[in-house]
Amino acid sequence: MSRSGIMNFLSSVLVLIAGLAIGFIILLISDASQAIGAFRTILTFGVGSMRNIGDVLLMATPIILTGLSVAFAFKTGLFNIGATGQFTMGAFVAIYIGVEFTFLPPWIRIISSILAAALAGALWGAIPGLLKAYRNVHEVISCIMTNYIAMFLVNFMIMNSIFDRNRGTTLPLPTDSNLPTLGFQNIFTDGIRSSRVNAGIIIAIVIAIVVYIILEKTTFGYELKACGFNRDAAKYAGINENRNIVSSLMICGALAGIGGALAFMNDTGLSMSTIDMLAQEGFTGISVAFLGMNHPIGIIFSGILISYLQLGGARMQPFGFSIEIIEVVISVIIYFCAFVFLVKSALENKIFRFKKSTEKSVEAASSEGGN
C-alpha cells in the first residue's frame, strides 16, 4: 500500500473510532446500565448470522451508489449535495415502471426500471449542472433547491398515479419486478428466514469498478478531473469545461438514480411514502464518500461499514433506548466520518513537522561531528 493509501486508511479508522466513542458517551449519558449491551449490539449484530450479513449488503446497496455519486462530483471539483433529489426521482420512475408496465416481460421490466431511473437521475442532475456551467450558480445552492423540488414533485406524482390510499404509499411492486436473488437466499439465511439481498449488491460493485476505470484510466475521466482542479487551465488546454461540468453532474445523477431504483426493487415490501421528508440515503452517501476517501473501491467498503452500523443501531430498542436516542447515536457515528479529510490533513501536517525536526536534528548532529 502506498503512503497515501496508508494515510487514507488511518484517517478513516481514526474518525470511525472517534464517532463510536462519542456515540458510546451518548448512550452512557442516556442510560449507563444498558449502554454496554446496546453498544455491543451496534458492533456485533451485523455478523450475528448469515442472514444479518445479507441484510448488511442489502442496506449497503443504495448508499454505495449515492456515495459514488457524491465522490464522482468531488473528483471533478464539484459538490453534489443533490444526490437525495436524484435518488428520489430515480426511485419513483423505477417503481412506476415496475407497477404500470406489467405487460413487459419481467427481465425487460427490471432492466427498463434501472435504466429509466438512471436517466431520471441524470436529467435531474443536469439542472444544477447547466446552472453551474452557463450561469455560474453554485451547485450547492441549486442542488438544495432541486432536492426539495424533487421531494414535492414526486409526492404529487405518486398521489396522481401509483398511490395506495390504504397504506399512504406507492402501490407495492409485483414480485417479478424485483431484482433476482441469484440464490443468495440459500447462503444468507439463519435457518428460519433468509435475507432479501439480491443482484443489487453485484450491480453496485460493478458500477463502482466502472467509475474507477472511467476516472483513472480514460481520457474522459482525465478531462473531468482537469476541469475540477482548474477550470481556466483546462479551458486553455482546449477542454470544454462547460460540457464537462454538465456531464459530471449528469453522471452523478445517474448513479444516485440507480441507487434509488435498487433501494426499492428488493421484495422487502418497502414503498415510497408521501411524507414531506428528504431521502436520507443521499445525505448518508456524503459520509460514505468521505469515509471511503472519494475512492470508488473504498466506497464499496465504507458503504458496507456504514450499513453494518445502521443495522446494529436499529436493534438497540430492546435495551430501553428510545428511537430518538438511537437515531442520534447512529447519526453521530455516521456523520462524524465527514471529518476524515480534516483528520488526514492534521496527520500529514504532524508527519511533515516530525520529518522536518528529524532532518534538522540530523543536520545539527552532522555539523557537530564535522567540527
pLDDT, tens digit, for every residue of 251-291? 999 999 999 999 999 988 889 998 889 999 999 999 899 88
CA–CA–CA angle 325, 67, 141 (5° rounding) = 85
Helix (H) or strand (E) holding 163: strand 163-164
pLDDT digits (tens, 9 = 90+) for 140-178: 999 999 999 999 999 999 999 999 998 889 999 999 999
Give dist(CA 258, CA 200) in Å, integer: 10
What total of structural domains would you count in the chain?
A: 2
Q: Which of 140, 156, 150 is nearest to 73 (CA)?
A: 140
- For residue 363, tell me if it sits in a domain: no
| pLDDT level of residue 79 (50, 70, 90 thresholds) | very high
* Position 41 pLDDT exceeds 80: yes
Q: Report which of residues 152 and 348 the model is more confident about.
A: 152
Q: Does 24 lie in the same domain as 106?
A: no
| Cell numbers representing residue 129 in the block | 449542472
Helix orientation angle between 3-44 and 340-370, rounded to the nearest 10 degrees: 130
Domain that holds residue 295: 49-313
Helical segments of the chain, H only: 3-44, 50-75, 83-100, 106-135, 139-159, 199-217, 219-229, 231-236, 241-264, 280-291, 296-313, 323-336, 340-370
- For residue 366, tell me if it sits in a domain: no
164 has which bridge partners? Answer: 169
- For residue 223, tell me if it sits in a domain: yes
- For residue 90, tell me if it sits in a domain: yes
- pLDDT of 58: 96
Q: Does 285 lie in the same domain as 201?
A: yes
Q: Does 54 lie in the same domain as 2?
A: no
The mean pLDDT value for 125-153 works out to 95
- For residue 226, tell me if it sits in a domain: yes
Q: Does 231 lie in the same domain as 140?
A: yes
- pLDDT of 364: 67
- For residue 177, tell me if it sits in a domain: yes
Q: Which of 130, 115, 351, 156 is nearest to 254 (CA)?
A: 115
What is the DSSP secondary structure assignment for residue 274, as one 8-state letter?
Answer: -
